[in-house]
Amino acid sequence: MVATEFIELLSEDGWRDLTVDQSFPAYLWAEGGLLADAPVDMAKTFDGNMWVAAKVDSAFNLNGLRCAPGFSVPRHHHNLDELIVVFAGEFHVSWGPNGEDGSRTVGPGEFWISKAGTPYLMTAGPDGVTYIETWPEPMATLETYWHDAGWVPR
């Protein structure tokens, strides 16, 4: 028998701090090498600013995420296309190497697709943002290339 569980992403329950590991081998510095060797501090950048939904199973290529008001997820890109669906709040996204290729605000019920290889910077709105991100392939194949905008330096 298969069990189905309802997950309420908009409640305050079921969230945990997003733990980050700068030495994760799929985190790469866009200028070359591993993020572990970059002049940025991932823990200081993300701590207290981002949470993950504890009940969303990443085996389904999904992450349920929440960002603090005004928090900017540093500019990055992936080796896979990504779909982001906003459930509450909003984020402003700018894309291109320096954000010059375009920008828009994405609110509840809206989505944004990041094409593989396209750098983007996401900034949560004044009430923060709650969203799901998903990819067309298993997350084990996902690589993230981090750029130099939005970080706390070492």
Task: Summarize pLDDT for 96-138 with one digit per residue, the tens.
Answer: 988 889 999 999 999 999 999 999 999 999 999 999 999 999 8
Rounded mean pLDDT, 80-101:
94
**Does any domain span residue 3?**
no
Which has more pLDDT, 1 or 99? Answer: 99
Determine contact, residues 35/21, Cβ cutoff 8 Å: no
Look up the CATH number of the domain holding residue 68: 2.60.120.10
* Residue pair 65/142 in contact by the 8 Å Cβ criterion: no
Q: 87 is in which domain, residue-wise?
A: 23-146
In a domain, 8, yes or no: no
**Residue 139 and residue 13: Cα distance in Å, rounded?**
25
Q: Is residue 50 part of a domain?
A: yes
Is 96 part of a structural domain of the chain?
yes
Q: Which of 27-36, 52-61, 62-71, 115-124 has the lowest mean pLDDT?
A: 52-61
Give the up-direction half-sphere exposure of residue 104: CA atoms within 13 A in the CB hemisphere.
Answer: 8
**For residue 83, is pLDDT > 80?**
yes
Q: What pLDDT is recorded for position 74?
A: 96
Structure confidence at residue 13 as a pLDDT band (50, 70, 90): confident
Q: Work out how many domains the chain is built from and give that number.
A: 1
Distance of alpha carbon 41 from alpha carbon 148, whole angstroms = 11
Residue 65's contacts (CB-CB under 8 Å, 6 or more residues apart) are 18, 50, 51, 52, 53, 130, 131, 132, 133
Q: Region 85-102: what's the mean pLDDT?
A: 93
Q: CA–CA distance from 51 to each of 67, 98, 128, 132 (Å)?
A: 7, 26, 11, 12
